Amino acid sequence: MKNSILKIITVFAVSLIITPSTLPSDTLQISVGYSKPMPFPPAYIRGYVRDNASHSPLPGANVQAVGSPQSGGTNVVFTTTTNENGYYELLVHSGYYYTVTASYEGYNSQTQNTGYLMSGAQKWIYFYLDSSSPGYTLWNSPSYTVWFAPATTKIFNSTQPPVSTSSTIEIECARNENEPFQIVIQPAFLLTNVTVEIGDLINQETGE
């Protein structure tokens, strides 16, 4: 075997090109490349999506990460859903800034930023979503739903009961101070000529 020196001159084209006629006898030009740059080692985005009031997990919540490259170019998008514990994990390209959004039916979506993610980075982001209907559902049955809402909340026929639930209503107020609130009774079907008084719903209690 003849002794020769193999010199790799360029490595970035799509094809393999050998041009011995134009090079010295001991030189071989090889051009090897890809239509897209080889990806860097990945990064990870992990976390939980929970109810902001009860901190209970929200299984099946949608999580989307939109990545913007550092020096311009095409954005990348990664999506997943949370498991039964509200946990999610995304394997994403490194070298990007990510905007991560969590959404869940009946809740207001929330967006957070990761900052720049280097190769092998692990970013934890926790989401605590607020119900899109303020207040708590106190009672839910096939016939009707009873729920509590702050006094400033506008209630319409199309307003859906809060996703958050509670068996009691807690209102903080100072002595001799009145704090308004709403009790909403939402039937599953249209009712006519029905009168409801507050005494039908609660028993008044006093305390220090």
- pLDDT for 40 equals 67
Please state the φ and ψ torsions of residue 21, each to the nearest 5 degrees.
-70, -25
Read off the tokens for 133: 């209907």
User: Do 100 and 24 lie in a common domain?
Assistant: no
Which has the closest alpha carbon to 91: 126, 41, 50, 36?
41
User: Residue 19: left if φ>0, alpha if ψ -120 to 50, beta else—which one?
Assistant: beta
pLDDT band at 39, cuts 50/70/90? low
Q: Residue 104, class by beta-carbon neighbours within 10 Å (0-12 exposed, 13-18 middle, 19+ buried)?
A: buried
pLDDT band at 207, cuts 50/70/90? low
Q: What is the mean pLDDT of the chain?
A: 78
The predicted-structure confidence for 86-124, as pLDDT tens digits, reads as follows 999 999 999 999 999 999 988 889 999 999 999 999 999
Torsion sign (Cα): 87, 90, 91, 94: negative
Domain count, the chain: 3
Which has the closest alpha carbon to 196: 184, 208, 207?
184
The predicted-structure confidence for 65-82, as pLDDT tens digits, reads as follows 999 988 777 899 999 999
User: Do 51 and 125 lie in a common domain?
Assistant: yes
State the residue range of the domain holding 54: 43-129
User: Do 163 and 194 lie in a common domain?
Assistant: yes
Which has the closest alpha carbon to 107: 153, 68, 150, 60?
60
The answer to whether 198 touches 168, Cβ cutoff 8 Å, is no
Last residue of a domain, one of 68, 94, 129: 129
